[in-house]
Amino acid sequence: MSLRMLLFRRAGTRKLLRTFAQSTAARSDLRRRPQLPFLVVPTTTSTGRVRYLTTERKAQLKYEIGTGIKYTGYIWIAGFSILAAWFALFQESLERRYPTPHEWTYRTRLYFRGGRCARYEPSPGKTTDWKQVAWWAEKALNRLQDPQIDGEDVKDAPPDCPPGTKDITAKSEEWRRGYYEAIMFYAKAIEYVEGWVLDKSRNIIFPAGTMIGPSNPYPKPLPAGFMGAPKEEDCELRYESPDAVYLRILSTVGFTDQQKIEAGLAYASWLEYKGISGPASIIFEDAVNLAASQRHDLPATPLDKKTWTLNDTAGLPSENLLNALTSYATFRARQGNVSTALPILVSILKARRSLPSTPLDAPKSLTASLSNRPTQTGDGAWAFIKSIFIPPAYPPPPPDGTSPPLRDAGELCQEAAISLHIGEIMYASNPASREEGLGWTREAVDVAEEQLRYQLPPGDRQNIPARATCRECLETGLGNWSTMVARLAREEARRKEKMDKVGNEGKSGGWFGSLWGQGVAEDTNRWAAEEKVIEERQRRVRDLLEDLTPPSRGLLSFIQA
């Protein structure tokens, strides 16, 4: 009983308590006294107001704001660190694919690698942006020619050379080789942006022919992505002419004969594309003469200057001479001078087939191949770790081209290309030699397919040029083969139709008419059967002609299925 009374008293006492911010107006019936303003928060409702910004709440807000700023900073730092690590790894992978001389500064190497990546590795579903490629190449070349950056000890060439020509004999071999690659890359890039103009009022580059002005009364429509055609008074040429760049390359002091031969062939091809066949022929001939004059130890002159064919008594020709003479022969064939081109190509093919074979460097047994394979521990693992943290060395200089090449897979692809040229010339030049030209084309297709399928694996980066040559030869050969057979089938069908018509008109059922009709039918069936063979061959080599490697998705590959 006493415990019950005690609890009752405490409950009643608790009901009579009044909080600090509670108004007593609602309890006037219990304790009648005037309202004290300094003790009560004024309210418009009977329930009163709540104090939100208290001392504890202020401290909590300060803590939360400080913690948010701190973690936001951590996230930004982590994001920048991940981005910097990704950029470093990406540049390291580009350096391994497109090596640059270690003497160059980092920004110069960055520009050169960026241009190569933009040229050979465009975004999936897009073509090469030559404006961007030319920008990267120009930046790298300007830094190499600047004496304050990477052009130390680079001098101006003699006054008789084209303006802007350099003398790079004081630089190392790696620097000179890299400079040659950079300036050739720049020349190739500006071929695609020749005539592009810069709108100085908006600092925007526009394609050639889109400028509005008196010199271009019929401007071309702007491509997608460009807004507002430029006006002639606001424009100037953005890039120099490729002719000027190629002339500087040919006059640069410090390049090797092989480099000048390659530059001359590229320049002559550019002139031929522009329709300037006369100067192109002269430059082709100069390149061939330079390649023929490199070796002085031969028993006879390697080239017959009258027919431009190789001399069999002079021994094996050099690689430079074979490449230069092949380019000159195909140029002659494109110009319609097949009587000169065909003997040159036949002599080149004969010389290539007499080249020595590639030495067998691979192990001959499975045990030897397994013993030479790097293991997971020891030297193999240590070499792998060093390859990650140590930058790769710049590749050694290639052969100078004065020696005969080896008859490897790449040379067999070159032989297939020459056979393809010979077959095309023989088929188009003489109706009596069409089947012989068809045979040359079949042989070229067989050799190209064999090399692509068995000798040139797609993952080997060293064989990328040879594989590209074989792929182009196979694709072109199949197209030529199909066109030749289709034309022969149509001609035989017309002949059969004509003979049937003559036979029906004369109502002749003799021996000669039946035998002639049977021969035409056999020829027609032969070409129809060969057309089916070509279709089956095209289906079989589809995997060799298409790049089935899926495009890289980058960082999205971690979050995509």
* pLDDT tens digits along 239-284: 999 999 999 999 999 999 999 999 999 999 999 999 999 999 999 9
Inter-residue long-range contacts of 143-146, CB under 8 Å, 24+ positions, other chains counted:
143/105, 143/107, 143/108, 143/111, 144/104, 144/108, 144/178, 144/179, 144/182
Handedness of CA 176, 177, 180, 185 (dihedral sign): negative
Distance in angstroms (rounded) separating the CA atoms of residues 52 and 58: 9
Give the range of the structural domain holding residue 488, as residue numbers without chain letter: 447-543
**Does residue 234 sit within a domain?**
no
Contact 249, 263 (CB under 8 A): yes
SS3 310: strand
- Averaged over 327-343, what is the pLDDT? 92
- Say if 128 falls within a structural domain: no
Which tokens go with 194? 């020749």
Q: In 3-state terms, what secondary structure has residue 253? A: strand
Q: Tokens representing 172?
A: 């190392």
Q: Strand 303-304 and strand 235-237: pairing? A: unpaired
Q: Is residue 436 part of a domain?
A: no
How does residue 149 score in pLDDT terms, banded at 50, 70 and 90?
very high
Q: Is 371 domain-assigned?
A: no
- Report the pLDDT averaged over residues 278-292: 94
The answer to whether position 129 is within a domain reads: no
List Cβ neighbours of 503 (8 Å cut-off, separation of 6 or more).
513, 517
Assigned domain for 530 exists: yes
User: Based on the structure, what is the number of domains in the chain?
Assistant: 1
Which pLDDT band holds residue 384 (cuts at 50, 70, 90)? low
Integer Cα distance of 385 and 395 in angstroms:
20
Higher-confidence residue of 117 and 45: namely 117
pLDDT tens, residue by residue, 81-135: 999 999 988 888 889 888 999 999 999 999 999 999 999 888 887 888 999 999 9
pLDDT at residue 36, as a whole number: 62
Rounded mean pLDDT, 140-161? 91
In a domain, 495, yes or no: yes
Give residue-wise pLDDT tens across range 482-519: 999 999 888 888 888 887 777 665 554 444 444 444 55
Query: What dihedral do alpha carbons 207, 208, 212, 214 form, nearest 10°?
Result: 170
Report how far residue 22's alpha carbon sits from residue 19's, in angstroms, rounded to the nearest whole number: 5
Q: Considering the chain, what is the average pLDDT of its residues?
A: 82
If you average pLDDT over residues 355-364, what whole number do you get?
57
What is the phi/psi pair of residue 235, to 5°?
-115, 155
Q: What does the block give as tokens for 267? A: 């320049």
Rounded Cα distance between 395 and 105, Å, is 18
Picking from 237, 268, 214, the residue whose alpha carbon sits closest to that of residue 134 is: 237
At position 177, the amino acid (one-letter code) is R
pTM of the predicted protein model: 0.79
User: Greatest CA separation found in the chain?
Assistant: 147
DSSP state of 555: G
Task: Confirm whether 254 is domain-assigned.
Answer: no
**434: pLDDT strictly greater than 60:** yes
